[in-house]
Amino acid sequence: STVDVESALIALNNGTLTLAGALLKDTNGTLEGEDEFLRMKSGSTLKSTGTGALVQLSGTTVDFDAALSMTDSTMTLSGPLASVTSVKGADTVSGSSTPLFKLDASTLTSTGTGALLSFTSTDATPDGNFFRLQNTSKVELAGPLFSGTGGKLGSGTASNVRAFISVLDSSTVKSTGTSALISMTDVTFDAQGPLFNVRRSKSTSLPSKVTLDCSLFSGKNTTINTTSLGFGSTFGTSAKDCCSTF
């Protein structure tokens, strides 16, 4: 099956959506759109009491500007956000500096103990961040944030340094789980920027912050390269080597 839309595939604008299961499941189909896969804004809320992933894709071909964009919105889950296996097109979803997953002044909570995002045999190398929190956004989890098995992962370009996961503007991430917040197995990770960074606090009293009951990262049979010469062109300074992994 093929679904081709001229805007976001699923959009909530000051809307409320309550589910007892998945929002979307697809196997071997094609999903295309001019904007985001899922867009929430203007006080929208989405709640699912199902313990399976909100979005489940297997063998799907996707073509969107971004996977998730949340602005001034709230998502509450009892399970993962997305489980993707052998998905094609996720490596080119972000054709600019747009993050693949972005929270802007938004909150995402999951009480599930599995990874919020699980990528298996799927390449994901957006030109922007893979996952970005900004403007005092919050992510609160009972398990990991990301699990990747197989495939190629990364972020940024040679002229656009971007961390794979970035926590900015006094945003916060908290996990009470015991497994690593980020795990990669049999992955080739090559980013034009750090794998994970936390910065740009609005004040010393309101810092960008990560609070964990677990380790930050676990890797097995994984190659990591965060070398880039793009710092100068990104930040308007002289060229120099970067970037640290964390």
Please tell me what DSSP assigns to residue 204.
T
Q: What pLDDT is recorded for position 152?
A: 97
SS3 91: helix
Give the pair of three-digit tokens for residue 180.
């690593």
Residue % of the chain over a pLDDT of 90: 85
Residue 230 burial (CB count, 10 A): 19
Going by their DSSP bridges, the two strands 196-198 and 10-13 should be labelled as: unpaired
Please enumerate in sequence order all residues whose Cβ is within 8 A of that of 165, keeping only pairs 6 or more positions apart, or say none.
129, 130, 131, 132, 145, 146, 182, 195, 196, 197
Report the distance separating Cα 115 and Cα 147, nearest Å. Answer: 6
Structure tokens at 128: 């922007």
Q: How confident is the model at residue 229 (pLDDT cuts 50, 70, 90)?
A: low
pLDDT at 235 (0 to 100)? 55
pLDDT on residue 94: 46
pLDDT of residue 165: 98
Which pLDDT tens digit goes with each residue over 29-58?
A: 999 999 999 999 999 999 999 999 999 999
Residue 131 vs residues 18, 139, 162: alpha-carbon distances, Å: 24, 11, 10
Asked whether the predicted pLDDT for residue 231 surpasses 60, the reply is no
**Please, what is the average pLDDT of the chain?**
93
The SS3 assignment for 33 reads: strand
Tokens 């997305």, residue located: 82
CB atoms within 10 A of CB 219: 17
- What confidence score (pLDDT) does residue 240 get? 61
- For the chain, give the percent of residues with pLDDT over 70: 92
Of 118-127, 151-160, 193-202, the range with the lowest mean pLDDT is: 151-160
Q: For residue 73, what are the contacts with CB-CB under 8 A and spacing of at least 6? A: 12, 40, 41, 42, 43, 44, 45, 46, 106, 107
Q: What pTM did the predictor assign?
A: 0.94
Amino acid 68 reads L
The pLDDT assigned to 159 comes to 81
Give residue for tokens 């606090």.
201
pLDDT given for residue 210 in this prediction: 98
Question: CA dist 220 to 113, 150, 184, Å?
Answer: 21, 11, 6
The tens digit of pLDDT for each residue in 172-185 reads 999 999 999 999 99
Using one digit for the tens of pLDDT, what is the confidence trace for 102-153?
999 999 999 999 999 999 999 999 999 999 999 999 999 999 999 999 999 9
pLDDT in tens, 66-83: 999 999 999 999 999 999
